[in-house]
Structure 1
Amino acid sequence: MEDKYGILKSTEELRRTFKSGVTRTVEWRKTQLRGILKLIKENEQTLFDLLQSELGKHPIESYRDEIGVVKKSADNALRCIDQWMSPKKGWLPLLFFPASKKVVPEPLGLVLIIGSWNFPFTLILDPLIGAISAGNTVLLKPSELAPNCASFLANKLPLYLDPKAIKVIEGGSGVSSQLLEYKWDKIFFTGSTKVGKIVMAAAAKHLTPVTLELGGKCPVIFDSLPNSDMKVAIKRIVSGKWGPCAGQACIGIDYMLVEQKRASTLIEELKKIIKRFYGDDVKNLKNIARIVNKVHFDRLRNLLEDPAVANCIVYGGSFDETNLTIEPTILLDPPLDAEIMNEEIFGPLLPIITLDNIEESIDFINSKPKPLALYAFTKSDDFKKRILAETSSGSVTFNDTMIQFVCDGLPFGGVGESGFGRYHGKYSFDTFSHEKAVFDRSFYLELEPRHPPWSKFKLEFLRSCYDYNYARLLLLLLGLEKP
């Protein structure tokens, strides 16, 4: 294989570094985590400027969705890593006494992380924190659609992290294709379902474990709410739909479901908050990112230029091709067979689908592929139970949007076509670790009933040994286990 991008040389050095054992030490892991914290602290303004120039993100949005997220994750890993690395013990059947067992987390080895352009720092550095915490060597492939952010990572990371253990390769689809030809010990990919299938097919050749963070059409169920609660809900919906990268987010709101009798009130309230948050002039929009490039801009414009869809626009719909901005747009009841209702929108367009009864939303959601996130605004505990019991999604968030992503205590990941695998906090550490089972048996006190020849006594003895309550009681009586 021609090594035109220097991948072979990089992977060989990464494997040598891993084989040396340096990355297994807690000192090395903590040093790298502190390096990430130092990187974002010393370069915060540069990161703000890059995200503003490349994606049109306001600095506060950049801190909320990128810099702050990375800082929180690295801080959490530093605080918890000693505990995460500790072996876990547990109960053993009495038949194997005296013995001990433990589960030891060990690093997988050489990890490939392929990031996405919409959050070019979070979606590279957050999984990197997990891979480092678990003691792996890592090759990072940032998205070529945010080239300045990718160049920053390529140039700056070696100054803060161990360059023999963590490397960055820039480039487009040609680089990604060649990377996937190599054997990795783990591949972590964030991106589209289409590319996710390519990644998985390539990994299958080497039986490489894969985590796929994909997307899908994430719905919002909007139930009846008191007026004061509705105003809060509308703010959270508008901020969650148009705030993170102008809707270009895998867990962004894709469409809303509401009872027909409430649709007009909902739309009027949405309009008010949109104008307050972002303005109503497409050439002077504020606090909202732009579309990443002309290809995606044209894709979104084509969704709206479908005549059957264009007639459904009740707010917005204007474009500024020069600045690659699209006005926040609301559509009421577009045709269900239109492309906008069957492909992930990934942009500032919000279809609202009306129902006779809000509980019909469950069947509507179940008629589509499983989403990465499901949002529901309701005060009904019974309806919440039905949503949890009768739908499947990567996550469910009641009465808010997007915030589940920044919660280290919750796993983040998809199900079905929205991906598989999970990360964040301890879940990131687990994703990049192998839990090795260790059993240590003594030569003392051999229990003969485990061996032939068989007898009725041996059968009854084995029954007792496999009975947790009996075995624990006996060990307590013998003083070999604490109450």
Structure 2
Amino acid sequence: MKLNYTSTEEVPQIVEDLRKSFFSNLTKPLSYRKNQLKQLYNLFDDNEQELCDALQKDLRRPRSEAVLGEISIIKQEIYDSIKNLDTWAKPEFVKVGIAHKLNRCQIRKEPVGNVLIIGPWNFPILLLLLPFVGAISAGCTAILKPSEIAENCATVITELFPKYLDQNSYRIVNGDAKVATTLLENRFDHIFYTGSGKIGKIVMETAAKHLTPITLELGGKSPAIVANDADIPACIAPDYVICEKSVQEAFVKEVPRIVEELYGPDPQNSPDSSRIISQRHFDRLTDLLDKTEGKVVYGGDKDKNDLFFPATVVSDVPKYDSLMQEELFGPILPIVVVENLDEALEFIRSKDIPLVIYPFSNNEKTIENSRLNLLDNTRSGGVLINDCFMHFTVSTLPFGGQGHSGIGKYRGKRTFDTFSHERSVMTSPYILERLLEVRYPPYTEKKFNFMFWLLYSYKKRNETGFFKATIGAIFVLFISYVFYSPF
């Protein structure tokens, strides 16, 4: 299956067409948004097998992981968005002080405009279309740029998109770095990028030229802190493990059994064993492994022709090793040895802020003590205790990084908020022009004292009592109106 790239000459016109659609108010009615969300749900419902096949071709991702880890999460997000959209989009009336009791003060939830969403290759469907759900819900027009590396997924999404979604509002643009650069040269009202920190910096720099707000989901080095009393077989999936020497020895002994339990005696021929996305990334991982000063204690033969890279564990990895410089995006698990928990926390603080920290322990007291210690003495996008990945499946928990691991949060209502502008609106009845003429020159001490009391003297009003203060203010305003000005 070949992915057809969008011509760079077409890009500016696509951007302009969507901008015109936005200003025509096509996407603003809630009924329109709900209909498009239902159509996106139908896209996944009708074509689940085709999407699973694309993930299988690109990443050899098993059907269970494709459905449970990508497709079902998006469908649940769509369902929640449709169910809650009326509440999320409803104008919010705010509390006001005495001076504004006759004003109508509200916050309108308005779409930010025309947005760009750039997806990664490691979760090519989930992390492209999950933010898109929020863009639809918020009432934006949107351009989606799938990863060209996961070309089967990009091709399937491109083919299905116009069959279900309004092309006047939402478009797919495909291509390599040249096409992505052309896209970024255009002005958008928000850019949502998921991928590496290196490209994230380029996106941020380009967006700054137009003062475009951005959301960056960048990942980073997410550590698993494994306590002495942890259940060793449970600790899988993070970017590296940090633990004491005795835990490393126990962990390394368990690895062969765990891998065989998951993938059988021949992991390469297991139907549940994924592949590296491309030869370039295969070579990248090989190069990192060749440069490490750690000891490869587990990992069979690699097969470049099949893009099979076995689960590989590297022990005694120096803290500033080649494997510790960037997110690996591959089945290599470095182990960094420390003397104690305090040294582990100090090391984590010395590095860029991770997307997630995964502490593991089998003792409730240890969990509580290390939880408080870790939360008080480290920074990260999130913390997941005794598990991996599962916090992402909870749509009411904000997901996102901090610093080098990302900017901004999303999932559920927070994705809606990401693509929404909170527009403050205050309406004053014309009668206030006469009631509050005391705010105009010529200024007097009496005018000043009255306006200061009305606007800022919270302590005096609290001492007087809210009810009495309100009655007093209304009385003064009434006198102001009747006699035009008491001053």
Q: Under a length normalisation based on structure 2, what TM-score does the superposition of the two structures give? A: 0.89
- Which of 130, 150, 159 is matched with 1:155 structurally? 159
- Which residue of 2 is the match for residue 290 of structure 1? 275
- Which residue of 1 is the match for residue 466 of structure 2? 473
- Which residue of 1 is the match for residue 483 of structure 2? none
Q: What is the alpha-carbon distance in structure 2 between the residues aligned to residue 167 and residue 383 of structure 1?
A: 47
Q: Does 1:186 align with 2:195?
A: no
Q: What is the alpha-carbon distance in structure 2 between the residues aligned to residue 470 and residue 42 of structure 1?
A: 65
- Which residue of 1 is the match for residue 360 of structure 2? 377
Q: Secondary structure at the match of 1:331?
A: strand
Shift of 1:461: 4.9
Q: Does 1:212 align with 2:216?
A: yes
Q: Does 1:411 align with 2:415?
A: no
Q: Once the two structures are superposed, what CA deviation does each residue of 1:37-74 show, in whole Å capped at 9, x if it has no partner? A: 10001001111111111110000010111111111111
**Structure 2 letter corresponding to 1:256:** V
- Which of 239, 242, 260 is matched with 1:254 structurally? 239
1:74-153 alignment, distance < 5 Å: 74-153=78-157
- Which residue of 1 is the match for residue 341 of structure 2? 358
1:407-446 alignment, distance < 5 Å: 407-444=394-431, 446=435
Q: Once the two structures are superposed, what CA deviation does each residue of 1:132-187 show, in whole Å capped at 9, x if it has no partner? A: 00000111111100112111111111110111100001111111011111111111
- Which residue of 2 is the match for residue 247 of structure 1? none
Q: What is the alpha-carbon distance in structure 2 between the residues aligned to residue 330 and residue 272 of structure 1?
A: 13
- Which residue of 2 is the match for residue 453 of structure 1? 444
**Structure 2 letter corresponding to 1:267:** V
Q: What is the alpha-carbon distance in structure 2 between the residues aligned to residue 342 and residue 466 of structure 1?
A: 55
Q: Secondary structure at the match of 1:102?
A: strand
- Which residue of 1 is the match for residue 307 of structure 2? 324
Q: What is the alpha-carbon distance in structure 2 between the residues aligned to residue 144 and residue 466 of structure 1?
A: 61
- Which residue of 1 is the match for residue 480 of structure 2? none
- Which residue of 1 is the match for residue 329 of structure 2? 346
2:59/2:275 contact within 8 Å kept: yes
Q: What is the alpha-carbon distance in structure 2 between the residues aligned to residue 422 and residue 288 of structure 1?
A: 31
Answer with 1 or 2: which has the greater Rg.
Answer: 2
1:183/1:208 contact within 8 Å kept: yes
1:292/1:324 contact within 8 Å kept: yes
- Which residue of 1 is the match for residue 68 of structure 2? 64
Q: Does 1:277 align with 2:268?
A: no
Range moving further from structure 2, 53-62 or 269-278: 269-278
RMSD over aligned CA atoms reads: 2.3
Q: Once the two structures are superposed, what CA deviation does each residue of 1:213-265 show, in whole Å capped at 9, x if it has no partner? A: 11211001111336xxx16xx33x33xx1xxxxxxxxxxx1111112222222
Pick closer, same or farther for the CA change 1:477–1:94 going to 2, 3 Å: closer
Shift of 1:288: 2.4
Q: Once the two structures are superposed, what CA deviation does each residue of 1:321-379 show, in whole Å capped at 9, x if it has no partner? A: 12111111111112223211222211101111122212321101011101111111133
1:390-405 alignment, distance < 5 Å: 390-405=377-392
Q: What is the alpha-carbon distance in structure 2 between the residues aligned to residue 315 and residue 426 of structure 1?
A: 43
- Which of 12, 31, 36 is matched with 1:32 structurally? 36
Q: Secondary structure at the match of 1:318?
A: coil
Q: What is the alpha-carbon distance in structure 2 between the residues aligned to residue 47 and residue 471 of structure 1?
A: 66
**Structure 1 letter corresponding to 2:132:** L
Q: What is the alpha-carbon distance in structure 2 between the residues aligned to residue 202 and residue 278 of structure 1?
A: 44
Q: Secondary structure at the match of 2:359?
A: strand
- Which residue of 2 is the match for residue 250 of structure 1? none
- Which residue of 1 is the match for residue 373 of structure 2? 386
Q: What is the alpha-carbon distance in structure 2 between the residues aligned to residue 468 and residue 118 of structure 1?
A: 58
2:264/2:270 contact within 8 Å kept: yes
Pick closer, same or farther for the CA change 1:335–1:22 going to 2, 3 Å: same
Q: Secondary structure at the match of 1:308?
A: coil
Q: What is the alpha-carbon distance in structure 2 between the residues aligned to residue 475 and residue 346 of structure 1?
A: 65
Pick closer, same or farther for the CA change 1:89–1:461 going to 2, 3 Å: closer
Pick closer, same or farther for the CA change 1:462–1:7 going to 2, 3 Å: closer
How many residues are paired up?
457
- Which residue of 2 is the match for residue 245 of structure 1? none
Q: What is the alpha-carbon distance in structure 1 between the residues aligned to residue 130 and residue 323 of structure 2?
A: 31
**Structure 2 letter corresponding to 1:295:** R
**Structure 2 letter corresponding to 1:473:** F
Q: Secondary structure at the match of 1:353?
A: strand
Shift of 1:276: 0.4
**Structure 1 letter corresponding to 2:219:** G
Q: What is the alpha-carbon distance in structure 2 between the residues aligned to residue 124 and residue 185 of structure 1?
A: 18
Q: What is the alpha-carbon distance in structure 2 between the residues aligned to residue 199 and residue 297 of structure 1?
A: 25
Q: Secondary structure at the match of 1:211?
A: strand
Q: What is the alpha-carbon distance in structure 1 between the residues aligned to residue 399 and residue 178 of structure 2?
A: 29
1:220/1:256 contact within 8 Å kept: yes
Instruction: Extract unaligned runs of 5+ from structure 1.
Output: 242-252
Instruction: Extract unaligned runs of 5+ from structure 2.
Output: 1-5, 474-487
- Which residue of 1 is the match for residue 181 of structure 2? 177
**Structure 2 letter corresponding to 1:319:** K
- Which residue of 1 is the match for residue 485 of structure 2? none
Q: Secondary structure at the match of 1:41?
A: helix
**Structure 2 letter corresponding to 1:315:** Y
1:46-61 alignment, distance < 5 Å: 46-61=50-65
Percent sequence identity is 38
Q: Under a length normalisation based on structure 1, what TM-score does the superposition of the two structures give? A: 0.89
Q: Once the two structures are superposed, what CA deviation does each residue of 1:296-345 show, in whole Å capped at 9, x if it has no partner? A: 10111112223633xx1111143111211111111111222321122221
**Structure 1 letter corresponding to 2:330:** G
Q: What is the alpha-carbon distance in structure 2 between the residues aligned to residue 429 and residue 63 of structure 1?
A: 24
**Structure 2 letter corresponding to 1:43:** N
